[in-house]
Structure 1
Amino acid sequence: MSLALKDTVSHCYGDYLTWHDDSRYELIDGAAYLMAPAPDVAHQDVAGEIYFQIRQALKGKSCRAFIAPIDVRLPKYAESDDQIDTVVQPDVLVVCDSDKIDRRGIRGAPDWVVEVLSPSTAGHDQIKKRRLYERHGVREYWLVHPVDRVLTVYRLQGDEYGKPEIYELKGETVVGILPEMVIRWDELAARLPTDY
């Protein structure tokens, strides 16, 4: 299932800021994608646990962790904020360059992005957003599959993501760009529902 488009008009962040309805959107190359309704409990548990572990591990360090919703503006060149046509809200992200952080969120590529897959967003996250994050230089991109209990990891090698690494959600996984950071899965995996 793919996410619904708002319309066929090209939009920018200036437009996005004027939308006052209760729906949330992401912009990718000017196309406004309606975000899925509130995720299920497993999705939120996974995102919250990853954020919690990384936030604790980053205490006293220069990198900062964030959890959705937060706007990540991805300019193509040096355009003004209002003209940026790509704004996403990753589930969890880490930014190590404090100059990218401002009152509106993040401007520029995060260092690490985690998307927790839901049935309604899986294709969007695995294809469209993977290509987007690769193009903008996100150094490491994780896709967590709560139903299958699988983690797919993409790491930037030059200008492209290398072959993905696949892990089970058990034991621990090292964050490649922050090797002192690990995500511990066992307690979280034990909480995940088995009746999908």
Structure 2
Amino acid sequence: MSMNQPQSNYSYADYLESSEEIRYEVIDGQIISMSPAPTPKHQHVQRELLIEFGTYLRGKECSVFGSPIDVCLFANQTTPNEKIKDWVQPDIVVICDRNKINPQNIVGAPDLVIEILSPSTARNDRVIKFNNYQKAGVREYWIVDPSNEYVEVFLLQNNRFISSGFYTKEDSIKVNIFEDLSIELKHVFQDDSGK
């Protein structure tokens, strides 16, 4: 399907068949994001979080993945690609059910999703994707602001996201889906020049 066609009713099959080298996210058949490349600060924060989670998860059942990776929130292993109308590419996901990991994508709700804000994605991350992650059953959702150096954490309780805390560069975050993992944000927000 060409990006010049009306932006409605896209399916994951259309996306996979496209010859265009454009990454985008779709909610209910509608394109919600075709973002420019992330900034160096965004990439730094993503890299540091991937290091923290990757080191902790080495040899464990759960796995961490960084964008770009397609997450088909409301699909399962038997859902045909033509029927998938929702997929996103979160900055970081943690998956503890290996049955959700396919060769080309993730199907179903991740256990933890982290979105790193940029000016072009902030509304989607805070509203549209927030609501879809909640609806899909994501257990823990982090919104990371690299410019202002803070993290908001939301936990799923009774099918609703409840704010669990607001953390700044001086804080340590307890990762709620794991009993024994905390991340010191001074490492995450420290820039590559050591500041």
Segments of structure 1 that go 5 or more residues without pairing to the other structure are none
Q: By how many angstroms is 1:164 displaced?
A: 4.8
Which residue in 2 is equivalent to 1:75?
74
Structure 1 contact 6–32 (Cα < 8 Å) conserved: no
TM alignment of 1:153-172, pairs within 5 A: 153-172=153-172
Which residue in 1 is equivalent to 2:42?
43
TM alignment of 1:174-185, pairs within 5 A: 174-185=174-185
Structure 1 contact 75–107 (Cα < 8 Å) conserved: yes
SS of aligned partner of 1:88: coil
SS of aligned partner of 1:190: coil
Q: By how many angstroms is 1:81 displaced?
A: 3.0
1:52 matched to 2:51: yes
Which residue in 2 is equivalent to 1:10?
9
Q: By how many angstroms is 1:33 displaced?
A: 2.8
Aligned residues: 189
Which residue in 1 is equivalent to 2:28?
29
Give, in whole Å, the separation in 1 of the partners of 2:187 and 2:175. 18
TM-score (norm 2): 0.90
Which residue in 2 is equivalent to 1:84?
84
SS of aligned partner of 1:43: helix
Identity %: 37
Which residue in 1 is equivalent to 2:127?
127
Structure 1 pair 173–22 and aligned structure 2 pair: CA distance change class (3 A): same
TM-score (norm 1): 0.89
Q: By how many angstroms is 1:135 displaced?
A: 0.2
Once structures 1 and 2 are overlaid, which stretch shifts more, 25-34 or 135-144?
25-34
1:107 matched to 2:99: no
Give, in whole Å, the separation in 1 of the partners of 2:6 and 2:114. 27
Where does structure 1 differ by over 6 angstroms across 4 or more consecutive aligned residues? none
Segments of structure 2 that go 5 or more residues without pairing to the other structure are none
Structure 1 pair 6–52 and aligned structure 2 pair: CA distance change class (3 A): farther
Give, in whole Å, the separation in 1 of the partners of 2:62 and 2:136. 19
Structure 2 contact 49–188 (Cα < 8 Å) conserved: no
Give, in whole Å, the separation in 2 of the partners of 1:168 and 1:54. 19
Structure 1 pair 192–132 and aligned structure 2 pair: CA distance change class (3 A): farther
1:65 matched to 2:98: no
Give, in whole Å, the separation in 2 of the partners of 1:192 and 1:119. 22
SS of aligned partner of 1:114: strand
Q: By how many angstroms is 1:23 displaced?
A: 1.6
Which residue in 1 is equivalent to 2:141?
141
SS of aligned partner of 2:54: helix
Q: By how many angstroms is 1:83 displaced?
A: 1.1
Structure 1 pair 131–6 and aligned structure 2 pair: CA distance change class (3 A): farther
Structure 1 contact 72–106 (Cα < 8 Å) conserved: yes
Once structures 1 and 2 are overlaid, which stretch shifts more, 183-192 or 17-26?
183-192
